[in-house]
């Protein structure tokens, strides 16, 4: 019962906060995140514990982890939706530009964070801030959160050159991030252990990317063929949901073969699933639209749970806050400078050159996953990396969607309109009848 009550409270809190932030001009995703903080372990969760009411909010971090399957599935659907942006007709126009910008902005972020944090490590000393932690954080800087970006684009129905190139870049970010993180993390582990592991630095990330794309391709073709056997809208929607969840489940399988681990990324696999499906299936546009409608409550839960995961006690550690602020400043500069430079080099439109970097700032799930892997560095270094990333995610998740909305609005791709609610439209229709 407590799980169902928590889910209900999370949905209600998310919906209510979306109404609260609307008059302030803030994206709904910001309201969902704030709702998660309010019903999380530091607010309503504490009250539920005090009153011995199970399910009244999320009482602690361990309890929040019980809802991890919701986040896994939601990220799968987010990647599936982003895969829809890789239609061959669009890639002919933006494919080269998106690839160049996706790689360059990620490397710029890593470079600036590495230089700034390694300098900080040299000043403070290894005992205070190890060089291995600095190098690992530089790699984590590549990651961008596709979920928040996609939600802002959907909510405001953003359209234009910036939006067209933004979503493919966010998707490519995952592949670039995997390679950069594997190399940097391998170097960091070598600094700690004194030995270099070629397999973890080069082979494993390449295998993960190739295996993910292969899995997504196979599932995409199977999905397209399976869809032909069903004709009713409800069953075709059910097939769509089944294949996304099935793909997410398969990505959780890890197969160790000697010193090599064959694993897959759910984001890359589900993105490829969506890419293959939208290019092979003639009715993919209609099905994608129906899936988008079905997933709205799932995405609300995802962001509310993400808000509940944010560690507010990080603010009590001044050293973490200081390093976190340096990380945020130089990662942001790297993303914006890299996007500006590369977009200009490949002759993108002026609004893309000017505003793209700001839309790439959100950071969440992928970065948190990397921070968990960073725990392998050792108790001190791993905990330091994870806490700094927790701090940065807290800031980026609350501020990033707002900045994305501002950038898209200034680029002229979010046009304010006097939209009428579905309730009012139904009332007007009833009066005419």
pLDDT at position 417 over 70: no
With b for 16 or more beta-carbon neighbours within 10 A and e for fewer, the 144-179 pattern comes to bbbbbbbbbbeebebebbbbbbbbbbbbbbbbbbbb
**Weakest mean pLDDT among 117-126, 147-156, 374-383:** 374-383
The answer, yes or no, to whether residue 292 has pLDDT greater than 60, is yes
Minimal CA–CA distance to 67: which of 52, 79, 57, 78?
57
Q: What is the pLDDT of residue 234?
A: 82
At residue 53 the predicted structure's pLDDT band, cuts being 50, 70 and 90, is: low
Calculate the CA 115 to chain-centre distance: 25
CA distance 357 to 336: 4
User: Residue 206 has what pLDDT?
Assistant: 77
Rounded distance, CA 231 to CA 59, Å? 45
305: closest CA among 384, 397, 380, 243? Answer: 397
Q: Which of 52-56, 87-91, 322-326, 427-431: highest mean pLDDT?
A: 322-326
pTM, 2 dp: 0.74
Q: State residue 196's pLDDT score.
A: 57
Q: Are 315 and 321 in contact (CB under 8 A)?
A: yes
Which pLDDT does position 424 carry in this prediction?
A: 55
Residue 211: what pLDDT?
87
């Amino acid at each position: 019962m407590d799980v169902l009550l928590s889910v209900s409270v999370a949905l209600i809190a998310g919906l209510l906060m979306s109404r609260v932030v609307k008059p302030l001009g803030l994206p709904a995703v910001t309201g969902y995140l704030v709702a998660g903080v309010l019903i999380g372990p530091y607010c309503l969760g504490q009250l539920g514990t005090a009153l011995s009411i199970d399910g009244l909010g999320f009482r602690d971090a361990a309890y929040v982890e019980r809802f991890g399957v919701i986040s896994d599935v939601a990220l799968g659907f987010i990647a599936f939706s982003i895969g829809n942006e890789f239609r061959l007709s669009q890639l002919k126009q933006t494919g080269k530009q998106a690839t160049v910008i996706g790689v360059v902005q990620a490397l710029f972020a890593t470079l600036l964070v590495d230089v700034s944090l390694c300098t900080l490590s040299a000043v403070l000393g290894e005992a205070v801030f190890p060089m291995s932690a600095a190098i690992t954080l530089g790699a984590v800087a590549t990651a961008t959160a596709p979920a928040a970006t996609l939600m802002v684009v959907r909510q405001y129905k953003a359209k234009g050159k910036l939006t067209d190139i933004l979503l493919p870049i966010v998707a490519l970010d995952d592949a670039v991030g995997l390679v950069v993180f594997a190399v940097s993390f391998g170097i960091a582990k070598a600094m700690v252990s004194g030995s270099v592991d070629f397999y973890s630095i080069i082979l494993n990330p390449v295998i993960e990317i190739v295996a993910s794309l292969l899995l997504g391709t196979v599932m995409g073709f199977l999905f397209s063929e399976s869809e032909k056997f069903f004709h009713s809208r409800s069953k075709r929607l059910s097939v769509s949901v089944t294949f996304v969840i099935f793909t997410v489940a398969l990505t959780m399988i890890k197969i160790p073969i000697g010193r090599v681990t064959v694993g897959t990324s759910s984001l890359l696999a589900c993105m490829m699933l969506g890419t293959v499906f939208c290019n092979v299936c003639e009715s993919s546009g209609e099905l994608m639209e129906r899936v988008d409608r079905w997933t709205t409550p799932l995405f609300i839960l995802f962001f509310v749970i993400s808000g509940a995961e944010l560690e507010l006690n990080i603010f009590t550690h001044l050293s973490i806050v200081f390093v976190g602020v340096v990380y945020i400043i130089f990662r942001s500069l790297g993303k914006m400078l890299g996007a500006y430079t590369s977009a200009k080099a490949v002759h993108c439109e002026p609004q893309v050159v000017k505003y793209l970097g700001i839309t790439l700032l959100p950071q969440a799930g992928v970065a948190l996953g990397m921070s968990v892997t960073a725990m392998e560095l050792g108790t001190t270094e791993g905990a330091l990396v994870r806490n700094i990333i927790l701090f940065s995610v807290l800031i980026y998740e609350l501020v990033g969607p707002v900045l994305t909305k501002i950038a898209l609005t200034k680029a002229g791709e979010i046009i304010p309109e006097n939209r009428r609610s579905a309730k009012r439209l139904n009332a007007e229709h009833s009066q005419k009848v």
